[in-house]
Amino acid sequence: MQQNVISIGCDHAGFEMKQTIIKHLQDKGFSVNDQGCFSNDSIDYADYAHPVATLVENNPGTKGILLCGSGNGISMTANKHQGVRSALCWTKEIAELARQHNDANILTLPARFITEEEALEMVDVFFSTEFEGGRHQNRIEKIPCK
């Protein structure tokens, strides 16, 4: 999978915001791999977290976005995958640090607690911020269970 392809998934609470984010990313030249959901109908977040996390897990260097009401359930699900570092972010500063210090590869957003403007700011920061490496590399190497 190309590095400029971003996989995205959500539950029903994140559906509307996901649509806005997809358009925003496409306008910036990214290709988006939409893993669903595809309506406001109530669904289970795990059914959409696993496909995004699997794509990120199996394609090093790629990144994804997940959304659900609080961001918690969908992020917890994604983080069950080895090599996935899903960061639940609620400000652009947190999104920036998630990339700089944690080499996060999935941005998770709490759709019911942020505005679309805040979401787009976090998306922009997340995808334009590089991992600092250095002292942080050793720390992220200790994340996976062995």
Q: Read off the CATH number of the domain in which 87 is found.
A: 3.40.1400.10
The answer to whether residue 44 is domain-embedded is yes
What is the tens place of the pLDDT at every residue in 126-145? 999 999 989 999 999 988 88
The answer to whether residue 34 is domain-embedded is yes
pTM value is 0.95
Residue 3's pLDDT band (cuts 50, 70, 90)? low
Mean pLDDT, residues 114-118 taken together = 98
37 is catalytic: no
Domain count, the chain: 1
The answer to whether residue 146 is domain-embedded is no
Hey, which residues does 108 pair with through a beta bridge? 66, 88
Q: Which of 10, 37, 68, 89 is catalytic?
A: 68
Range of the domain at 17: 5-141
81 is catalytic: no
Q: Which amino acid is at 139?
A: R
